[in-house]
Chain A
Amino acid sequence: NAGVTQTPKFQVLKTGQSMTLQCAQDMNHNSMYWYRQDPGMGLRLIYYSASEGTTDKGEVPNGYNVSRLNKREFSLRLESAAPSQTSVYFCASSVLGTVFRLMEAFFGQGTRLTVV
């Protein structure tokens, strides 16, 4: 099915371990985004990529790095995981240009990450 695909769906890490969350979209969208969702808080933007070859920090970038590998793929890396990074992570992409229009955005199914 067309859309945004995230892998893995679930992951448990030990404190200090590293991992990369993968995101791919097959809709030829220019812009892609990584959010985290925590209990009692709204979705918060970690990083975004307005177009292939560019990345920018969002609200909560500390402890994360990203790579826009090509137009399809946008990965999120945790270099040294901490319990505070336990969260559900969502990747999203947007239809038009470099503007994130929420009404036209597609979200992945989420990755539930637990850091122990």
Chain B
Amino acid sequence: KNEVEQSPQNLTAQEGEFITINCSYSVGISALHWLQQHPGGGIVSLFMLSSGKKKHGRLIATINIQEKHSSLHITASHPRDSAVYICAAPSPTSGTYKYIFGTGTRLKVLA
């Protein structure tokens, strides 16, 4: 069992829908990251969260450290949001270089 689990694995939505992607983790962490992997392969960081909520444009990320759960929301989804969304947490035991990555949620937004 992966220490960082995401759901759903795949998600198809109609343009304009509100989307939620979930991330649960079993390790004690200080922060959690959300990444976006574009269809062409490039990976970019979206958020780093240690508590509460962060918002960037139509993207909102929340985290509940006690419940070991984070969500990524997309409001008014658009086909350009189609990508793989990955959550990641720094490993609590393996030094400064190692992160534990979720398996990703593949989102497809239809026009």
Contacts and interface: CB of A to CB of B under 8 A. Distances in A.
B98 A102 contact: no
Interface stretch (B10-18, B42-50, B59-67, B74-82): B42-50
Contact of B44 (A33, A44, A88, A107): A107
B100 A42 contact: yes
B103 interface: yes
Contact of A41 (B33, B40, B97, B103): B103
Contact of A48 (B33, B43, B97): B97
Interface residues of B, number: 23
A103 B45 contact: yes
Contact of A102 (B2, B4, B42, B99): B99
Contacts of B35: 102
Given A42-B2, A42-B4, A42-B88, A105 B45 contact: yes
Nearest to B96: A99
Contacts of A99: 96-97
Interface residues of A, number: 28
Contacts of B88: 42-43, 102
A33 to B, nearest CB: 7
Residue with the greatest number of chain B CB neighbours at <10 A, chosen from A31, A33, A41, A102: A102
Contacts of B90: 102
Contacts of B96: 98-100
B101 interface: yes
Given A42-B86, A43-B86, A103-B48, A110 B41 contact: yes
Contacts of B41: 88, 90, 109-110, 112
Nearest to B38: A109
Contacts of A88: 41
Interface of B: 2, 4, 33, 35, 40-45, 48, 86, 88, 90, 96-104
Interface of A: 31, 33, 40-45, 48, 50, 56, 58-59, 88, 90, 92, 98-100, 102-105, 107-110, 112
